[in-house]
């Protein structure tokens, strides 16, 4: 490591102000801070100095994503050929997923570098997470050129045009997925997209529940061969990283334990989901809508709600910032997810649109929470 430090110190003057490579200073800063903690320190109180910066926080999120990623690779191979062995599952899954990740990081990284060089600011660390999240919320059979188009839209339109990391209103990975979802619906919906096994189709549990009217959705899911245990472990068709609830729980423990994700958003989302699902169950006898009968536990286990809630709804930039606002924000996402699933079977998953709508309402939620706090303090002051 001393050799790397000496090499970086030796070329640093060329990237400083007045150096021949000054324009490419963001590239030097990116490489330097990957290996070492930034050498800058605050000089004026009340700042706290430590070795944790945004890049280290993003690496923690990447570590939290690894259980879902590795299981997702395995599950992609498993869905293609359940009879094959573990190694074959990992190999076939890796051949599908790894190229998507490489394309996402390469194309998105080029956009990040381009904007950093033009604006002459540091390369945004948030892309470390966005570049991995995006392929993990896609079907495993996604054409690579669509991955490139989606991540380009997510980075440029979803983040850079608003000022980059810290200024984006919506989660960039979800903006990218929304783009490919509406621009290329044939590659994002339907049973064939969830399997690599050629002409074989693989309906997701939520697609099964939404496919038949005048029936019990939970019964339909169980008849299709999807038990609660399989849905919890993740051995069902779905997006690359969103099927295993066990892997999501492991990631949630890391994020909440490191205080990168706020537990109030996760708790609020679960409350909203269960409350809205129970209300839907009460209305089920008066309607022929199959999805109304889907139990709260089925809503939680059958789709990508848990993955979206833990890894994207908790995005500290696009989520609510106040504690009370986080509760409201989480509950809103849970309720909206169930509403979308129940009222429009064309969007059987629901969590993508629910989080994007939650992102849109987050600033207004914080505004009214702060106004309420100010009014309460004013009343307390006037009583003194």
Among residues 188, 221, 240, the one where a domain terminates is: 188
In a domain, residue 25? The reply is no
One domain for residues 222 and 166:
no
- Which of 68-82, 91-105, 262-276, 343-357 bottoms out in mean pLDDT, i.e. has the lowest? 343-357
**How many structural domains are present in the chain?**
2
Helix (H, G, I), strand (E, B) or coil at 370: helix
One domain for residues 162 and 265:
no
Confidence of residue 351 (pLDDT cuts 50, 70, 90): very high
- Averaged pLDDT, 97-117: 91
- Averaged pLDDT, 6-19: 67
- What gap in Å lies between CA 123 and CA 112, rounded to an integer? 6
Tokens of 61: 């999120």
Which contiguous run of DSSP H or E holds residue 266? Answer: helix 263-283
Return the exposure string of 117-142: e unless at least 16 CB atoms fall within 10 Å of the residue's CB, then b. Answer: eeeeebbbbbbbbbbbbbbbbbbbbb
> What are the pLDDT digits (tens) for 188-231?
877 677 777 655 566 777 877 777 655 555 555 665 567 888 88
One domain for residues 216 and 361:
yes
One domain for residues 137 and 237:
no
Q: Which pLDDT score is estimated for 230?
A: 87
- What gap in Å lies between CA 356 and CA 360, rounded to an integer? 6
Confidence of residue 292 (pLDDT cuts 50, 70, 90): confident
In a domain, residue 124? The reply is yes
One domain for residues 219 and 366:
yes
- Averaged pLDDT, 9-34: 65
Confidence of residue 90 (pLDDT cuts 50, 70, 90): very high
One domain for residues 94 and 233:
no
For residue 129, pLDDT beyond 80: yes
One domain for residues 231 and 141:
no
> What are the pLDDT digits (tens) for 303-321?
899 999 999 999 988 999 9
> What are the pLDDT digits (tens) for 76-86?
999 888 888 99
Max mean pLDDT among 59-68, 117-126, 223-232 falls in 59-68
One domain for residues 324 and 364:
yes
Q: Which pLDDT score is estimated for 207?
A: 77
Q: Which pLDDT score is estimated for 274?
A: 96
Enclosing domain of residue 226: 207-370
> What are the pLDDT digits (tens) for 143-161?
999 999 999 999 999 988 8
- Averaged pLDDT, 172-196: 85
Q: Which pLDDT score is estimated for 206?
A: 80
- What gap in Å lies between CA 89 and CA 204, rounded to an integer? 19
Confidence of residue 68 (pLDDT cuts 50, 70, 90): very high
Q: Which pLDDT score is estimated for 154?
A: 94
Q: Which pLDDT score is estimated for 155?
A: 93
One domain for residues 102 and 244:
no
Confidence of residue 42 (pLDDT cuts 50, 70, 90): low
- Averaged pLDDT, 108-133: 83
Q: Which pLDDT score is estimated for 38?
A: 62
Tokens of 366: 């914080």
Among residues 132, 153, 188, the one where a domain terminates is: 188
Q: Which pLDDT score is estimated for 273?
A: 96
Q: Which pLDDT score is estimated for 197?
A: 63
Between these two residues, 162 and 7, which has the higher pLDDT value?
162
Q: pTM for the whole thing?
A: 0.85
One domain for residues 243 and 173:
no
- Averaged pLDDT, 346-354: 85
One domain for residues 363 and 224:
yes
Q: Which pLDDT score is estimated for 121?
A: 72
Q: Which pLDDT score is estimated for 294?
A: 86
> What is the DSSP annotation of 220-257?
HHHHTT--HHHHHHT-SS--SSSS-HHHHHHHHHHHHH
Eight-state DSSP code of residue 121: -
Between these two residues, 377 and 246, which has the higher pLDDT value?
246
Chain mean pLDDT for the chain: 84
One domain for residues 183 and 211:
no
In a domain, residue 20? The reply is no
Q: What are phi and psi of 243, to 5 degrees?
A: -90, -35
Which residue is it, tokens 């990284």? 109
- Averaged pLDDT, 238-253: 94
- What gap in Å lies between CA 251 and CA 71, rounded to an integer? 12
């Amino acid at each position: 490591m001393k050799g790397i430090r000496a090499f970086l110190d030796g070329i640093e003057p060329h990237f400083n102000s007045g150096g021949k490579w000054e324009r490419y200073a963001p590239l030097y800063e990116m490489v330097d801070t990957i290996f070492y903690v930034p050498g800058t320190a605050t000089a004026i109180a009340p700042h706290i100095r430590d070795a944790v910066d945004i890049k280290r926080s993003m690496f923690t999120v990447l570590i939290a994503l690894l259980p879902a990623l590795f299981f997702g690779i395995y599950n992609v191979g498993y869905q293609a050929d359940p009879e094959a062995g573990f190694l074959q599952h990992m190999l076939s899954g890796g051949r599908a997923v790894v190229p998507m990740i490489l394309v996402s990081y390469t194309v998105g990284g080029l956009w990040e570098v381009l904007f950093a060089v033009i604006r002459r600011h540091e390369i945004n660390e948030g892309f470390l997470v966005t570049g991995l999240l995006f392929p993990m919320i896609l079907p495993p059979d996604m054409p690579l050129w669509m991955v490139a188009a989606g991540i380009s839209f997510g980075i440029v339109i979803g983040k850079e045009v608003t000022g980059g990391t810290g200024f984006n209103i919506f989660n960039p990975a979800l903006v990218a997925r929304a783009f490919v979802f509406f621009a290329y619906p044939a590659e994002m919906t339907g049973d064939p997209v969830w399997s690599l096994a050629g002409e074989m189709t693989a309906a997701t549990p939520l697609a099964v529940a939404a496919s038949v009217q005048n029936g019990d959705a939970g019964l339909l899911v169980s008849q299709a061969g999807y038990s609660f245990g399989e849905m919890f472990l993740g051995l069902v068709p779905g997006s690359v990283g969103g099927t295993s609830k066990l892997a999501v729980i492991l990631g949630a423990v890391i994020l909440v334990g490191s205080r990168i994700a706020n537990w109030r958003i996760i708790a609020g989302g679960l409350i909203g989901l269960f409350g809205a699902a129970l209300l839907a169950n009460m209305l089920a006898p008066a309607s022929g809508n199959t999805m109304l009968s889907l139990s709260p536990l089925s809503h939680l286990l059958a789709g990508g709600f848990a993955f979206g809630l833990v890894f994207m709804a908790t995005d500290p930039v696009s989520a609510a910032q106040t504690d009370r606002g986080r509760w409201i924000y989480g509950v809103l996402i849970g309720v909206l997810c169930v509403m979308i699933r129940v009222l429009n079977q064309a969007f059987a998953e629901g969590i993508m649109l629910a989080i994007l709508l939650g992102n849109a309402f987050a600033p207004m939620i914080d505004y009214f929470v702060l106004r309420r706090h100010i009014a309460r303090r004013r009343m307390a002051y006037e009583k003194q």
